[in-house]
Every structure is written in C-alpha cells, then in structure tokens.
Amino acid sequence: MPFMKLIITDDYQESCRVAAEMIRDLIAEKPNAKLGLATGGTPVPIYKNLIEMNQHGEIDFSEVRTVNLDEYIGLDGSHPQSYRYFMDTNLFDHININKANTYVASGIGNAVQNAAILDAKVIENGVPDLQLLGIGNNGHIAFNEAGDHLVACSHIEHLTQSTIDANARFFESKDEVPTTAITMGMRGILSSKMPLLVATGAAKADAIRGLLTNEEITTQNPSTFLKLHSNAVVIIDRELATLVGI
C-alpha cells in the first residue's frame, strides 16, 4: 500500500497509546501544533492517555490549537450529547489547554453560517498538523456519509440511519439522536498534514477492508478518499486486521 502507513497493534489499548504518543511527539516538535480532533467512542481512551501525559508533564498544551470535525445541529454546547461538551469533559477540562484556542462548530443558530465558520477555522493560521479520525460502520469520516456524492466544504449533513443507530447508544433513546449535523467536508479532512484514523471492532471490518485492501476510491465508503493523501496513517488492532483479512 503506497503512501498510507498502516500500524497493526496487539490490541485497542495499544492503538490508543500509539495514537497518543504520535500526538505527544508532534507537540514536542511543534508546541503550537494545530490538532484536528474527533468525538465518538474510539478517541476516548486516546484522550485519557493525553490527559495522563499532560499530568505527568510529558505534553504541554498551552500553545496547542484545535478544531473539531463536527457538531450536531440543534444541540447547544452545554448539552451533554453535544460534541463541545464531549470535548470539554473528555479532554479540555483536564489539560492545560487555552479553551479560546479550541474550536467546535456551533450547533445552534444559522447552520449554513456555522458551517462556513468551521471551514474558516480549518485553515486559520494554517491547516491541522494532524487530523484524528474515527470511521463509521458505513465508512463515513467525520459526518461525511456514504452516498452517491460527497461534499468538499464544511456543510450540513443528513445523518444516515446506520449512523443514527450507531450513535443512539449515547442517547436515552434513538428518537433523541439529532438527524442533522455540521461536518468538516472532505477537503478540510484531506488538507490536514497527517490524517490519523484509528479503528477497532467487527462493525468496522467492511469499511476498513475497503480502505486498506484495494486501490478503489468510492463515495460509498468516504474513508477511501484517504488513499489520495500522501501521509495518512491508519491504526488498527490485530483482531480487526484478522477480520479484514490482512
């Protein structure tokens, strides 16, 4: 597989440690690094590692800048299921970052304008040095959903049933899952200097197989567009690699 770097770890715990170490090393080299960050279940242990490293003096976030991939439309940042709240409680509140240097799109107000602001934030003072990514069961990255086309700029996305079903676990009931979100577009993701995708679990096997085992690019699996990037990194554990057949 030219260009894309694949790291296969013993287990998901190790995947998360390796991802956190890559972020640590980046910040050591560039103290004001710009990180593109992600939400969802996958990055939570990565953020736990970063919090520990910060507490042990191994990372200084004081000059670090961040921009997040997406936010649900209709949820204020104080809503426990909003991605702003997620980032605060899973990372920012526990590290020495200046929250003024963190950006999560607003889920309330004019969504079109909010998406345009997100696009401006992606390139403000330089593109992200590293973009952390999870992957949806349907291959989505951020909320760029699988379908007959993708969108380059940050935009409003109607979530697929697969995504709503997958994310229902974070809500009291499926009915509460927002059906629309603001998401960074494919250009924003591919503009980062290093997309870093971490995946685990059998539900991701089909999407990861499409990403790693052939040279095809398809809007039906948005993660496959990472094949166009010259510096993308994918971290999966041995269990997932076996399911994928690599």
Give the interface with ligand PGA as residue ranges (CB under 6 A).
40-42, 134-136, 140
* DSSP calls for 191-210: HSS-EEEEE-SGGGHHHHHH
Q: Which is nearer to ligand PGA, 40 or 74 (CB)?
A: 40
Q: Which is nearer to ligand PGA, 90 or 106 (CB)?
A: 90
The dihedral over CA atoms of 35, 38, 43, 48, expressed in degrees to the nearest 10, equals 50
Say if residue 198 is exposed, middle or buried (CB neighbours under 10 Å; 0-12, 13-18, 19+). Answer: buried
Instruction: Map 59-85 to HEC letters.
Output: CCCCCCEEEECEEECCCCCCCCCCHHH
Q: Which is nearer to ligand PGA, 101 or 218 (CB)?
A: 218
Residue whose structure tokens are 């094949």: 227
C-alpha distances in Å from residue 171, one per residue of 92, 106, 112, 136, 165:
22, 19, 25, 17, 10
CB of 133 to ligand PGA, least distance (A): 7
Tell me if 9 sits within 8 A of 39, measured CB to CB: no
Q: Which is nearer to ligand PGA, 135 or 244 (CB)?
A: 135
CB of 135 to ligand PGA, least distance (A): 5
CB of 19 to ligand PGA, least distance (A): 12
Q: Which is nearer to ligand PGA, 40 or 101 (CB)?
A: 40
Q: Which of the residues are catalytic?
A: 70, 138, 140, 145
C-alpha distances in Å from residue 105, one per residue of 115, 171, 188:
7, 20, 14
- H/E stretch holding 237: strand 233-237
CB of 125 to ligand PGA, least distance (A): 26
CB of 137 to ligand PGA, least distance (A): 8
